[in-house]
A = this chain, B = another copy of it.
Amino acid sequence: MSSRISRVVITPVAFGDPPLLNVVGVHQPWALRAIVEVHTDTGLVGLGETYADETHLARLEAVAAALPGQDPYDAHGLRRLVVDVLGRETGGAGASFGGMLDVSSAVDTVYSPFEVACLDLVGREVGRPVSDLLGGAVRDRVPFSGYLFYKWAGHPELPEDEWGEALDPDAIVAQARRMVDGWGFGSLKLKGGVFEPDAECAAIEALRAAYPDLPLRLDPNGAWTPETSVAVAERLSGVVEYLEDPTPGIEGMASVAARTDVPLATNMSVIAFEHVAPAVAAGAVQIVLSDHHLWGGLRRSALLGGITDTFGMGLSMHSNSHLGISLAAMVQLAAATPNLTYACDTHYPWKTEDVFAPGVLSFDDGSVAVPSGPGLGVDLDRDLLGELHEQYLRCGVRRREDTVYMRSIDPSFRPNTARW
């Protein structure tokens, strides 16, 4: 009952990632994550997962060193500790998000995996799933959307992956079929911002023709001007359930929102609590995509949920390339968030490796059953963790750099932000 943190282990891992295209370039052959283990003097281990860009990793290590003696229940104390340890060195997120996102402080991103691990610990200690610690599960399964990407057949100089090339509407529909047939997804999201808007609208229209009843989303990550965004919204009105980040910034989004009835969602212009009030004042977005890695853990993501509910906004959930500890945390959070009525995003189908054996969190009908065991409901397989850590050591990737990698292949590439 009075367990204290005794030691903390941060393990960077790398796992193979397909060449998924986006507005700032292309995914590197290796995606990085940091696995956080928080041990207590009572022999429990709580787990967290976060980015592993080297700046972020150094900050995690600094916090980890200061954690012994802390009480896993004391989230506010943990947060003060993170603020103290980071001191003034909090500029940027520490994780580059491929160059797409920026926040003014790294506190929430550094705090997040420790908060999750502490909730895992408390759940294990009291024999309750984390969803119970967040007020109780309101659903026993969490629906996800199938995340479609334009992609190459394989990374240059590496074997082709099993998904193959997807650079036009037909190939996107084929990718969707594989996603729907394999995982049962009941909604689909296309990562856009890769080709000019007409081509991406055509892909959405092809998906609509193939799947007349599935909710569809298009996310060009701010590739368009406000004027183009309005034109796309007119074309896809009644076709998409929402447009995600058609154009950059709160001001740009607000100017689009004022001229269309198509709901606008964001994971770029509102990614920290400092952005909420300006976005509300501007009427910039109808739906916020939460992300516990960015928003400071599960309880602060629940706060974001309460804020969107209070201000009449919708709530969805964002994903970066991630492993199963993140998926478990996303599922526990989503289960305990009543107003999370949109299917969550996930990159999970795009990876083939994890830090625990397959089957613990499986997709049926596009949803994941909420683990009912103590804590997050997942345990590390130390052999698999070791393998993925060795891959990290070998692969040489130390930060996510979609643009740098793309330029190594196409030196003329420039990010498509607000290009069209």
Contact = CB atoms under 8 A, between A and B. Distances in A.
Contacts of A277: 280, 310-312
A137 B71 CA distance: 11
A174 interface: no
Contacts of A379: none
A193 to B, nearest CB: 29
Interface residues on A, range: 35 or more
A80 B338 CA distance: 10
Interface in A74-121: 74-77, 80
Interface in A127-158: 127-128, 132-133, 135-138
Contacts of A73: 128, 132-133, 136
Interface in A271-306: 273, 276-277, 280-281, 299-300, 303, 306
Interface in A300-338: 300, 303, 306-307, 309-312, 336, 338
A338 B83 CA distance: 14
Contacts of A273: 309-310
Nearest to A74: B136
A74 B338 contact: no
Given A135-B76, A138-B76, A310 B128 contact: no
A162 to B, nearest CB: 40
A360 interface: no
A76 B127 contact: no
A364 to B, nearest CB: 23
B74 A1 contact: no
Contacts of A127: 1-2
Given A299-B135, A311-B276, A76 B1 contact: no
A206 to B, nearest CB: 39
A310 B306 CA distance: 12
A126 interface: yes
B307 A310 contact: yes
A282 to B, nearest CB: 12
A73 B336 CA distance: 12
A136 B306 contact: no
A136 B73 CA distance: 6
Interface string A335-354: 01010000000000000000
Nearest to A1: B127
A371 to B, nearest CB: 15
Nearest to A374: B1
Contacts of A135: 74-76, 299
Contacts of A75: 135-136
Contacts of A132: 71, 73-74
A74 to B, nearest CB: 4
Interface in A40-89: 71, 73-77, 80
Contact of A336 (B1, B76, B137): B76
A182 to B, nearest CB: 32
A1 B126 contact: yes
Contacts of A299: 135
Given A76-B138, A280-B280, A281-B281, 17 more contacts: A1-B127, A1-B128, A71-B136, A73-B128, A74-B132, A74-B136, A77-B138, A273-B309, A273-B310, A276-B311, A277-B310, A277-B311, A277-B312, A303-B307, A303-B310, A306-B306, A307-B310
23 contacts: A71-B136, A73-B128, A73-B133, A73-B136, A74-B135, A75-B136, A76-B135, A76-B137, A76-B138, A77-B136, A126-B126, A273-B309, A273-B310, A276-B310, A277-B310, A277-B312, A280-B280, A280-B311, A300-B306, A303-B306, A303-B307, A306-B306, A307-B310
Top 9 nearest A-B pairs (CB, nearest first) are A74-B136, A1-B127, A75-B135, A303-B306, A73-B132, A76-B136, A76-B138, A273-B310, A277-B311
